């Protein structure tokens, strides 16, 4: 059967895009269309295999407790035994489906979006490498394998953000993304090393047995440190406060990249890592609290910035950070199901939103400022329709996908902590507002520029088909997940009862609708002037518009720290290091001046020294023979 084959050969899923990367990178890079064909074909096969794996997981009754594991030994170093392999449980299966679907659709979309770009082939090779590393990450059996792919994902993001490497801003953004996530990766690496040192294994299944036992016997002290260190990795990768700064800048990359990496798949690697190691985090209440509050604060914080941004992709970037905060919040309150449910729906509707944004920018000759658009709904009906679906989904209007997943998160949060629940609800309100603002300003009202408006057009079918598919997914994935018992499938511990708490559901829906109404009044009906509101908010508006000056604070901190350290080192360098070096140099110089007097170029002179040396050596050995009795 196909699904059995897919399950047994799950390692092919990341391998095929990797092969595409090698083929495109080494051979067909110059032939754009062929490269795209190869990439899409490989992605399609790996999508089909993912689907097969998912079917097999359902059909064979593979659960979180009894995953399907294939391992082979990778290397032995002393007593350290490292293996590579595939670990398949419902968590993995869901991630495989999401990642392969989104990356396949994004690749198809890119066929149209990147048309005419000189780096067409290169783009597809990077996309393939990205898909390969993300799929490999999802399939990892141990922390080390995950770390390897984790870094590969980081590399891909560097390559793709800096895709337009001739643009200084793109280069800077790529560097910033790489460096910022590196800070997080360092913590992750430390945590992994501590795990290896303390438990002698990095295997998820083995650690699942060891860690609860360890906590029972030795308390939570050590594990809390390890878990916090590991959590630093997701903070960096999933753009949590305070390491979120790279994500908005990452929008310098081509829009499909933003959709693929910085919205739907790569950034959820951090969420996935926490989910995969949930057996560890779940035992540590302190760490869970930290995760929940970091997530909640990030969600609110990013939403408040998204309020005032004007660049379409930046708004979406901050909304991504905000939604990732939601997922972390859900993990922190102990609901793996809610988090991963939201991960899945978010992947679909956020990819949809980004691709729509890409279509809009494509149509508007790469204009990014939403206030220079307007009235596009007549010119781009399909894009408008799909974008509306995305906005409704993210705002949590039933029956779109976001409603169900967000509702589950809020239910989970409400059951643990009221402040977190309120924070989540407030964020939901803000999300609805800024997304409505985005939609209204872009598609309603008067065109800001007649010329650009005339030029605008609906995009090609290559780009529309993924939009439609994602739109459909954004509508049904939530309802489907709700009805089909996502909570019984992807879960940790006992199956999750997926029921809707009417109070929470209705209140958040009403809040969202109110937000829509406010946005409509401000931006479409123009009953209230946005300038006046901005004026009245004064300092708050300024803070939000300037992203709370986080970048500036970092720059200043780095300036103080780095410059201070540099000054100290400069002093040490000049007075101590150079002093020593100069002293040594003078010493050697003086010595060699003295010695060079002996080097007068006369062979007889040298022969004399030679004889002296021989005499001394012989005398020395004689002395030894006499004193030591022949023992050298």
Partner 1 sequence: MNELLSTLVFYAVAVVILATALGVVMSKNLVHSALLMTACFIGVGVLFIWLNADFLGAMEFMLYSGGVAILVVMGVMLTKREAGPPGNPFNGRKLTALGMVILFMLVMCTVVVSTPIPTGGFVSPDTVSDLADMMLNRYILPFEIAATLLLAALLGAIILAKGDGEA
Partner 2 sequence: MTIGLNHCLLLAAMLFAIGLYGVLSKRNIIAVLMGVELMLNAVNINFVAFNRFTPVSDLTGQLMTVFAITVGVAEVAIGVALAYRIYNDRNTINVDELDNMKG
603 binds partner 2 (CB under 8 A): yes
Q: How far apart are CA 371 and CA 445, in angstroms?
A: 10
Binding mask 542-581 for partner 2 (x = CB under 8 A): ----------------------------------------
For partner 1, the binding residue among 26, 604, 627, 628 (CB under 8 A) is 604
For partner 2, the binding residue among 604, 626, 627, 628 (CB under 8 A) is 604
CB of 604 to partner 1, least distance (A): 7
Are 190 and 229 contacting, i.e. CB atoms less than 8 angstroms apart? yes
Q: Which residues, at least 6 apart from 57, have a Cβ–Cβ distance to it below 8 Å? A: 7, 68, 88, 89, 90, 93
212: nearest Cα among 276, 281, 290: 281
Residue among 483 and 607 whose Cβ is closer to partner 2? 607
Three-state DSSP class for residue 538: coil
Q: Is 535 exposed, middle or buried (0-12, 13-18, 19+ CB in 10 A)?
A: exposed
For partner 2, the binding residue among 601, 626, 628, 631 (CB under 8 A) is 601
**Residue range at the interface with partner 1 (CB under 8 A); choices 106-114, 171-179, 517-525, 607-615:** 607-615
**Residue range at the interface with partner 2 (CB under 8 A); choices 102-110, 442-450, 523-531, 599-607:** 599-607
Residue 591 binding: pick among partner 1, partner 2, none (C-beta 5-8 Å cut-off by kind):
none
Element (H, E) at 361: helix 336-363
Residue 601 binding: pick among partner 2, partner 1, none (C-beta 5-8 Å cut-off by kind):
partner 2
**Residue range at the interface with partner 1 (CB under 8 A); choices 48-56, 199-207, 370-378, 611-619:** 611-619
Three-state DSSP class for residue 73: strand
How many residues touch partner 1 under the rule CB under 8 A: the total is 11
Q: How far apart are CA 174 and CA 252, in angstroms?
A: 8
CB of 594 to partner 1, least distance (A): 19
Q: Which residues, at least 6 apart from 140, have a Cβ–Cβ distance to it below 8 Å? A: 87, 146, 149, 204, 276
CB of 608 to partner 1, least distance (A): 6
605 binds partner 1 (CB under 8 A): yes
For every residue of 497-524, DSSP letters joined together read: -----HHHHHHHHHHHHHHHHHHIIIII
Are 343 and 331 contacting, i.e. CB atoms less than 8 angstroms apart? no
Residue 622 binding: pick among partner 1, partner 2, none (C-beta 5-8 Å cut-off by kind):
partner 1
The first and second tokens of residue 474, run together, are 């954004």
Tally: H helices and E strands in the chain: 28, 2
For partner 2, the binding residue among 506, 565, 611, 619 (CB under 8 A) is 611
Strand 80-88 with 68-77, pairing: antiparallel
CB of 628 to partner 1, least distance (A): 14
Residue among 378 and 605 whose Cβ is closer to partner 1? 605
For partner 1, the binding residue among 1, 565, 566, 612 (CB under 8 A) is 612
Three-state DSSP class for residue 84: strand
CB of 603 to partner 2, least distance (A): 6
Residue among 506 and 615 whose Cβ is closer to partner 1? 615
Residue 615 binding: pick among partner 2, partner 1, none (C-beta 5-8 Å cut-off by kind):
partner 1
Q: How far apart are CA 143 and CA 200, in angstroms?
A: 12
Q: How far apart are CA 402 and CA 408, in angstroms?
A: 10
Residue among 26 and 626 whose Cβ is closer to partner 1? 626
Adjacent-strand bridge partners of 72? 84
| Of residues 204-223, those binding partner 2 (CB under 8 A) | none
611 binds partner 1 (CB under 8 A): yes
For partner 2, the binding residue among 461, 606, 623, 624 (CB under 8 A) is 606
Are 355 and 109 contacting, i.e. CB atoms less than 8 angstroms apart? yes
Dihedral sign, Cα of residue 200, residue 205, residue 209, residue 214: positive
For partner 1, the binding residue among 4, 418, 618, 624 (CB under 8 A) is 618
Residue among 556 and 611 whose Cβ is closer to partner 1? 611
For partner 1, the binding residue among 626, 627, 628, 631 (CB under 8 A) is 626
Q: How far apart are CA 466 and CA 81, in angstroms?
A: 44
596 binds partner 2 (CB under 8 A): yes
Q: Which residues, at least 6 apart from 253, have a Cβ–Cβ distance to it below 8 Å? A: 160, 161, 162, 163, 164, 170, 173, 174, 261, 262
CB of 595 to partner 1, least distance (A): 18
593 binds partner 2 (CB under 8 A): no
**Residue range at the interface with partner 2 (CB under 8 A); choices 193-201, 237-245, 562-570, 598-606:** 598-606
The CA-based angle 362-364-368, given to 5 degrees, is 85
Three-state DSSP class for residue 159: helix
**Residue range at the interface with partner 2 (CB under 8 A); choices 119-127, 183-191, 566-574, 606-614:** 606-614
608 binds partner 2 (CB under 8 A): yes
How many residues touch partner 2 under the rule CB under 8 A: the total is 11
Are 490 and 482 contacting, i.e. CB atoms less than 8 angstroms apart? no
Residues engaged in binding partner 2 (CB under 8 A): 596, 599-604, 606-608, 611
Residues engaged in binding partner 1 (CB under 8 A): 604-605, 608, 611-612, 615, 618-619, 622, 625-626
């Amino acid at each position: 059967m196909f699904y059995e084959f897919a399950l047994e050969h799950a390692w092919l899923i990341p391998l095929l895009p990797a092969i595409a990367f090698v083929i495109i990178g080494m051979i067909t890079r110059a032939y754009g269309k062929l490269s795209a064909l190869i990439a899409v074909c490989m992605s399609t096969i790996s999508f089909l295999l993912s689907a097969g794996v998912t079917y097999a997981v359902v059909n064979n009754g593979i659960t979180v407790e009894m995953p399907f594991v294939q391992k082979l030994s990778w290397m032995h170093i002393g007593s350290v035994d490292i293996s590579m392999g595939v670990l398949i449980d419902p968590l993995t299966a869901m991630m495989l489906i999401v990642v392969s679907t989104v990356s396949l659709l994004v690749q198809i979309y890119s066929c149209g979006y990147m048309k005419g770009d000189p780096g067409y082939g290169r783009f597809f090779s990077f996309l393939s490498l990205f898909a390969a590393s993300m799929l490999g990450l999802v399939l990892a059996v141990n922390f080390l394998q995950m770390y390897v792919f984790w870094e590969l994902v980081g590399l891909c993001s560097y390559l793709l953000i800096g895709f337009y490497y001739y643009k200084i801003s793109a280069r800077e953004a790529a560097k910033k993304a790489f460096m910022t996530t590196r800070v997080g990766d360092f913590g992750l690496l430390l945590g992994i090393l501590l795990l290896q040192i303390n438990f002698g294994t990095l295997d998820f299944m083995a650690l699942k047995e060891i860690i609860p036992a360890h906590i029972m016997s030795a308390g939570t002290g050590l594990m809390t440190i390890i878990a916090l260190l590991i959590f630093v990795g997701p903070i960096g990768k999933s753009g949590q406060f305070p390491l979120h700064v790279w994500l908005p800048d990452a929008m310098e990359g081509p829009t499909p990249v933003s959709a693929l990496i910085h919205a739907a798949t790569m950034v959820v690697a951090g969420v996935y890592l926490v989910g995969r190691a949930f057996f560890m985090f779940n035992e540590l209440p302190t760490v869970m609290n930290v995760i929940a509050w970091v997530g909640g604060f990030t969600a609110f914080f990013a939403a408040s910035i998204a309020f005032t941004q004007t660049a379409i992709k930046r708004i979406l970037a901050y909304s991504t950070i905000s939604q990732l905060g939601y997922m972390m919040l859900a993990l922190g309150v102990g609901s793996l199901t809610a988090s991963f449910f939201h991960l899945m729906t978010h992947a679909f509707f956020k990819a949809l939103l980004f691709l729509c944004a890409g279509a809009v920018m494509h149509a508007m000759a790469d204009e990014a400022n939403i206030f220079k658009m307007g009235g596009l709904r007549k010119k781009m009906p399909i894009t408008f329709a799909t974008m509306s679906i995305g906005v409704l989904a993210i705002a949590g209007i039933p029956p779109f996908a976001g409603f169900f997943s967000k509702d589950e998160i809020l239910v989970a949060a409400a059951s643990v902590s009221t402040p977190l629940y309120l924070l989540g609800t407030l964020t939901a309100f803000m999300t609805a507002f800024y997304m409505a603002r985005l939609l209204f300003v872009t598609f309603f009202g008067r065109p800001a520029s007649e010329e650009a408006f005339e030029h605008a057009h609906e995009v090609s079918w290559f780009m529309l088909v993924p939009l439609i598919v994602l739109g459909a997914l954004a509508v049904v994935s939530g309802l489907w997940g709700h009805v089909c018992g996502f909570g019984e499938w992807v879960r940790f511990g006992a199956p999750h009862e997926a029921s809707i708490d009417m109070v929470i559901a209705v209140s958040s829906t009403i809040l969202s609708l109110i937000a829509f109404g406010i946005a409509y009044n401000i931006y479409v009906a123009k009953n209230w002037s946005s300038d006046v509101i901005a004026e009245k908010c004064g300092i708050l508006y300024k803070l939000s518009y300037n992203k709370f000056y986080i970048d500036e604070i970092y720059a200043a901190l780095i300036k103080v720290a780095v410059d201070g350290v540099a000054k100290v080192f400069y002093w040490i360098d000049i007075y101590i290091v150079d002093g020593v070096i100069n002293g040594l140099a003078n010493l050697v110089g003086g010595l060699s001046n003295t010695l060079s007097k002996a080097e007068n170029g006369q062979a007889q002179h040298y022969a004399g020294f030679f004889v002296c040396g021989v005499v001394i050596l012989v005398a020395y050995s004689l002395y030894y023979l006499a004193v030591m009795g022949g023992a050298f």
